[in-house]
């Protein structure tokens, strides 16, 4: 632990010209400023010697705070408590509490464990990022740290409400379930005895209607009159014919292209979300797009991508809302409706189980239903 006392020029009071004295703490590379109950004339402060000229009372105060900091460090380590910048700052302000840590400290502890798991392959990077995003939303909702033992169901409801203002209900629930996992970890470590997240989370039923082949062709052939939109259209069509998720497509490169013994080209790529390998035959339309962009597809954020897709949707007269995941959903459904077997489609989409493919993508389009019924109509008479 490193501690210094600072006076920041940006905090000089216009009223009296004095500057707040602050404690600057560094623990394991993480830093925090802690406000102290003192204001001084910045011109009299010597940052190297850490004293205020002509003010012995404040100098005694500085030394007392320094001794308090080292005493807290010793006591926390002696008790075997988690020692991070967050736990230290909380202990400095509120005192040490045995068998409990602050919420922010729990987050730090939990993420250290997840990083270790990711490094040995127990979780994917995508899962690690999900936890990191969950913690970011929680901190934004909470605004300030507090002891984990003081968390209530009301706090959980406040976090959930905050998330609902940032995203859809289903997305919020995904993050809340990650938070619940973190709290279960806290219980397993003995930091708390019960989970404050007690209310049930119900996802909304979302109707996922894929594009028809006619709609895909309409998008492919429409004159868009803009190179930017044409580039976005290329990405979307490539997704429709490969089933690549947006993140997987964003990092697609020539190293992901393999040629088999018959000279056929494949995209063989590990999915970021699941770590499962996807085996995707490169159809002519996909080859055309890859060559057009020299195997370096345009890059942009998913949010911007979906925004452009709304423009393409209007230009093409498509009533369904175009977004990146709709293309993947369309690919799986079109392949199944074209007669490709479930196992093959599962391999193309990079699913770990055909159950996922069947549950999410196995939806027969109206024309497929009619065709199959007509094929057995004689047997029904």
- pLDDT one-digit tens code per residue, 309-331: 999 999 999 999 899 888 888 88
Residues 177 and 230 in one domain: no
Q: Which of 338, 337, 324, 355 is nearest to 244 (CA)?
A: 324
Do both 65 and 107 map to the same domain? no
Contact 204, 169 (CB under 8 A): yes
309 occurs within a structural domain: yes
What gap in Å lies between CA 108 and CA 185, rounded to an integer? 12
Contacts with 18 (C-beta within 8 Å, 6 or more apart), sequence order: 12, 39, 40, 41, 42
Q: Which residues contact 300 (CB under 8 A, 6 or more apart)?
A: 308
Residue 96 has pLDDT above 50, yes or no: yes
Choose one of 140, 173, 188: the last residue of a domain.
188
Dihedral, CA of residue 299, residue 305, residue 311 and residue 314, to nearest 10: 120
Q: Are residues 117 and 163 in the same domain?
A: yes
Domain final position from 154, 188, 222: 188
Q: What is the pTM of this model?
A: 0.56
How many structural domains comprise the chain?
3
In this prediction, residues 346-372 reach a mean pLDDT of 57
Q: Which of 131, 137, 184 has the alpha carbon at shortest distance from 159?
A: 137
Cα angle, residue 95 at apex, residues 94 and 98 outer, rounded to 5°: 125
The reply to whether 46 falls in a domain is yes
Reported as a pLDDT band with limits 50, 70 and 90, residue 45 is very high
* Tens digits of residue pLDDT in 177-203: 999 999 999 888 778 888 999 999 998
Question: In the predicted model, is pLDDT for residue 360 greater than 60?
Answer: no
In this predicted structure, what is the pLDDT of residue 95? 81
Q: Contact, 147 vs 96, CB < 8 A?
A: no
Could you tell me if 333 and 221 lie in one domain? yes
**Does 290 share its domain with 144?**
no
Q: What does R_g of the chain's alpha carbons equal in angstroms?
A: 29
pLDDT in tens, 100-144: 678 998 999 899 999 999 999 888 888 899 999 999 999 999 998
137 & 281 share domain: no
Q: Is 317 left (phi over 0), alpha (psi -120 to 50) or beta?
A: left
Domain assignment present for residue 381? The answer is no
Better-scored residue on pLDDT, 32 or 377: 32
Residue 298's CATH number: 1.10.443.10
pLDDT higher than threshold 60 for residue 377: no
Q: Which domain holds residue 11?
A: 2-94
* Residue range 221-265, pLDDT digits in tens: 999 989 999 999 999 999 999 888 898 899 898 899 998 888 888
Do the Cβ atoms of 69 and 23 come closer than 8 Å?
yes
The percent of residues above 70 in pLDDT, for the chain, comes to 90
Tell me if 254 is assigned to some domain.
yes
């Amino acid at each position: 632990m490193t501690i210094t006392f600072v006076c920041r020029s940006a905090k000089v009071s216009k009223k009296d010209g004095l500057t707040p004295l602050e404690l600057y703490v560094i623990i394991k590379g993480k830093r925090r400023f802690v406000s102290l109950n003192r204001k001084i004339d910045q011109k009299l402060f010597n940052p190297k010697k850490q004293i205020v000229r002509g003010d012995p009372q404040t100098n005694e105060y500085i030394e007392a705070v320094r001794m308090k900091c080292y005493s807290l460090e010793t006591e926390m380590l002696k008790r075997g408590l988690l020692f991070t910048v967050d736990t230290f700052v909380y202990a400095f302000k509120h005192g040490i509490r045995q068998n409990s840590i602050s919420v922010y400290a729990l987050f730090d502890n939990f993420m250290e464990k997840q990083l270790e798991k990711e490094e040995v392959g127990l979780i994917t990077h995508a899962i690690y990022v999900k936890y990191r995003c969950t913690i970011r939303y929680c901190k934004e909702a909470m605004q300030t740290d507090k002891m984990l033992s003081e968390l209530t169901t009301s706090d959980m409801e406040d976090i959930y409400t905050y998330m609902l203002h940032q995203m859809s209900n289903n997305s919020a629930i995904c993050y809340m379930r990650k938070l619940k996992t973190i709290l279960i970890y806290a219980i397993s470590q003995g930091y708390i005895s019960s989970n404050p997240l007690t209310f049930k989370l119900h996802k909304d039923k979302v109707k996922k209607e894929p594009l028809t082949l006619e709609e895909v062709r309409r998008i492919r052939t429409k004159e868009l009159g803009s190179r930017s939109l044409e580039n976005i259209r290329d990405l979307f069509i490539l997704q429709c014919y490969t089933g690549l998720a947006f993140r997987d497509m964003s990092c697609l490169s020539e190293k992901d292209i393999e040629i088999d013994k018959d000279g056929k080209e494949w995209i063989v790529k590990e999915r970021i979300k699941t770590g499962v390998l996807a085996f995707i035959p490169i159809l002519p339309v996909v080859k055309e797009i890859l060559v057009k962009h020299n195997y370096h597809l345009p890059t942009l954020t998913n949010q911007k991508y979906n925004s452009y897709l709304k423009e393409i949707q209007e230009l093409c007269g498509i009533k369904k809302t175009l977004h990146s995941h709709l293309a993947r959903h369309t690919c799986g459904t079109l392949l199944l409706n074209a007669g490709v077997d479930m196992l093959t489609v599962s391999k193309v989409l990079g699913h770990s189980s055909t159950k996922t493919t069947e549950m999410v993508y196995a939806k027969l389009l109206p024309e497929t239903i009619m065709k199959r019924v007509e094929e057995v109509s004689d047997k029904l008479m």
